[in-house]
Structure formats: structure tokens, C-alpha cells
Amino acid sequence: QQGVRWLHEIFERSAVQFPELTALSIPEAAASLTYAELDRLANQLASVIGDSVSQADQIVAVRLPQNSVTIVALHLAILKAGATQCFIDPDAPDDVLLRVLSDAQPALLISDALPAGYAGAFLSPEVLLRQAQSGSSRAPSAPWLDQPQARLASLFYTSGTTGHPKGVECPHAGYINLAQSYATFYDFVPGSDASSLTSSLGYDGSISEMYSAWVAGCEVVMLSKSALRSGPDLLPVLRDAQITALFCPPVLLSTLTAHPERDLPYPLCRYIVPAGEAFPASLIEPWSRARRQIVNTYGPTEVSTDTSRQLLRPNEPVTIG
């Protein structure tokens, strides 16, 4: 992956190397796409989105449920079109939605419904997909993509210190460093390993979850909110999907099982990658049995998600997060 300048090129490189391997699957929807199929869909969507993008750092906002391959393809398509992604929680109250849209001033909003009081450019996913099917299978050129340190890949809204959404601008270059650090840290094998996508695409952890797999030609497995809330019922999903790296808040582990070495035998979930809250010391011993590794990560959104990692071991302090 040397020489990559833009975040979506991490995916594109793997699509060239491993076109027939699975890039994305959604167990609950019984859906999956190979690298070639996901790249083609993203290019088709980008060819439509590109009509609304004409200069650097323009925002394309997406407010859709995270339950289909379309939303992940849109992540790639927005970047391929030379725009900046901004995913908004579909369950967010209307006042929060309008505050975000007023602040972000997107060049295009893709949503199931046109928000009351919003007068900007808008496309429903149905219209977008219909136009994409008859459009080009090549992503548009974006001549304003010039400096990866300056051009923005993402705009993530965090609560900040005021309680109101605050937009955090994240350039391509930092994410490329992050993805390349995963390539050297994890021993993923193309076609064999898989990372879970448990975070909303409106949360910066989603970048880690997708690109840890894609940088290595591996699979991203999208887990639904209902599956993540199902406690022990999630275990067969993890087993069937053969997930190697489980990205999750620590509280999820406490609901899964008290005997992970039995219920998720190695190499299933051989990496546990918690984030978002402090890791309870009581979970370290059971979740580090049988060669399983807990890779505790920490970093603010402003510095490309992760700035530090700590391998948690029994009887040693948790020093980050």
C-alpha cells in the first residue's frame, strides 16, 4: 500500500489485487459483495454524486439506516467523487439534524426523507441507485484532490464541550497512516480474516473497522444494532461470519459470554479491539485466555481516530482509554 495518497485508494489497491474476495458482508441481510462488485457499485454512485461536487472539501451528507451494502458503497463513492463524507444518525432528533446541516452546508444530502426546513440539494437512495445503474462505471476525476494533508476525507460531529454537535475535520493523510499501521500490526491473511463493523459510519471508529480489513484484502462484516444488543445470541453470528477482529465497546463483551475461550474458540475473534470507553480490569483475564489479544485503542477524533494502542494483560494496569 505504499504510494497511496487518498483513503479510498487503500480499498482500490486491494480491489485490484483481490477482486474476487469478499469485501463486505451483512449476515442479517444475507448480503455480500466482492471487492470488484463493491468497487463497481461505488464507482457508479460516485459518477452521480460527482455532478454535485465541483471543488475541494465539499460535504456530501448521508442520513440512512446502516443495514445495507449501499451505505458502505456511499462511503467509498463520496471519497471517489472528491468530496468529504458526513454521516448523520438517522435516529437523531430533527433539531440536531438541522443544526448539523446548517453547520456543514452540504453540497448534497442523501436521505430517505427530505427534512422539513432544508432547502439544499437532495437525493433519495432510490433515485441515486436508479441513476447509478444507468451511469458510468468509472469514478469521476477530481482535479482538486491535491494535498492529502489538507483535503478532508471526513467530517464527524461530536458533542464537544457544549453539548451541541461540533464538526471535526479529518484529512486523508492521517487515515492513510492509520490504515498502514494496521497493515503492519495485524497478521491478517487475505480471504481468511474479517473485521467487524459495529460502529455507525457517523462515528470515526468506523474508519478503523473497515480499513483494518481492506488494507489487507480481508472482509468487513457489518453487524446490526439489534444483533449487537442480542447478548449471547450474537455468538453464532460471530462464529458463522468467522470474525477475526471484534471491534466493540467493552460493555458488549460483558453481555456475550463468561467463557469466550469455549464459545469463541481461537482463532475466532482472536483480536478484541475495544474503544469508546474505559476497559474494565475484570474483563482482561477471561478475554485474554487461549492466545486471544485485547488491543486497547485510544485517540480523539481530531487526530485520525487512534493515537495509541495497549495490549492488555492480566494483572497489569489499563493505562489508556
Instruction: Give the model confidence (pLDDT) of 16-61 as tens digits.
Output: 999 999 999 999 999 999 999 999 999 999 999 999 999 999 999 9
Q: What is the pLDDT of residue 152?
A: 98
**pLDDT at residue 1 is higher than 60:** no
Q: What percent of the chain has pLDDT over 90?
A: 87
Residue 246 DSSP code: E
Cα dihedral angle (120, 126, 127, 133), rounded to 10 degrees? 140
Q: Which of 156-160, 183-187, 256-260 has the lowest mean pLDDT?
A: 156-160
**pLDDT at residue 156 is higher than 90:** yes
Q: What is the pLDDT of residue 160?
A: 63
Q: Which of 17-31, 155-169, 178-192, 212-226 has the lowest mean pLDDT?
A: 155-169
Q: What percent of the chain has pLDDT over 70?
A: 98
pTM score of the predicted model: 0.96
Instruction: Give the model confidence (pLDDT) of 106-140 as tens digits.
Output: 999 999 999 988 999 999 999 999 999 987 888 89
Measured between its terminal Cα atoms, the distance across the chain in Å is 29
Mean pLDDT of the 181-199 span: 96
Q: What is the pLDDT of residue 137?
A: 86
E-strand stretches of the chain: 22-26, 31-34, 59-63, 84-87, 108-111, 122-123, 152-158, 166-171, 194-197, 219-222, 245-248, 271-274, 293-298, 308-312
Cell of 57: 472539501
Q: What is the pLDDT of residue 2?
A: 62
Q: What is the pLDDT of residue 307?
A: 87
Q: What is the pLDDT of residue 132?
A: 95
